């Protein structure tokens, strides 16, 4: 509720400044649309030692990338469900580290009623928090041995070579 109270007191210029500084896409520029960028870069993941011992770097990378794409799709599906103004989305940047959400429902336009940009800033702040949480959950998942489905057959000398039951 605190964020809502804060945006209720903000002028259009203050809202527009936050939009320009924190959310306006630097990757997507089309007339008649607004786009918002969210940092989805994962800077460091600690792959469990046992995984690096028994899987090739290519297999690790393949599984990581596959899960990253699935996690991103799930996040975007949830966002599109929660925010009906999202028209389209892209993964942008040199390394794909930006989620860009596109809307045809432009609210940062001079002369528009203040309710629309206030609500959009609240939405963008919520999305930013959801992205932060999704990144943390992704990292925790990938850093767990359970994610990699490592069992005794993979590492135990007593089990190696025995058929699975």
Q: What is the Cα–Cα distance from 23 to 33, expressed in whole angstroms?
A: 14
* This model's pTM is above 0.75: yes
DSSP letters of 142-163?
HTSTTTTT--HHHH-TTTTTSP
Q: For the segment 2-21, what is each residue's pLDDT rounded down to a tens digit? A: 555 567 789 999 999 999 99
The closest alpha carbon to 71, from 154, 130, 2, belongs to 130
Q: For the segment 72-112, what is each residue's pLDDT rounded down to a tens digit? A: 999 999 999 999 999 999 999 988 999 999 999 999 987 77
């Amino acid at each position: 509720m605190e964020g809502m109270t804060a945006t209720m007191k903000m002028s259009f210029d203050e809202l527009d400044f936050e939009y320009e500084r924190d959310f306006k896409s630097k990757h997507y520029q089309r007339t008649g649309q607004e786009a918002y960028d969210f940092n989805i870069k994962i800077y460091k993941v600690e792959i469990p030692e046992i995984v690096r011992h028994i899987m090739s770097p290519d297999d690790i990378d393949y599984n990581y990338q596959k899960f990253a794409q699935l996690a991103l799709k799930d996040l975007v599906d949830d966002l599109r469900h929660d925010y009906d103004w999202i028209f389209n989305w892209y993964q942008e940047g040199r390394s794909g580290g930006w989620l860009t959400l596109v809307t045809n429902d432009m609210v940062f336009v001079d002369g528009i009623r203040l309710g629309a940009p206030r609500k959009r800033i609240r939405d963008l702040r919520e999305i930013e928090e959801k992205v932060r949480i999704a990144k943390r959950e992704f990292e925790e998942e990938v850093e767990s041995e359970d994610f990699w489905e490592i069992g005794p057959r993979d590492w135990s000398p007593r089990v190696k070579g025995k058929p699975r039951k």
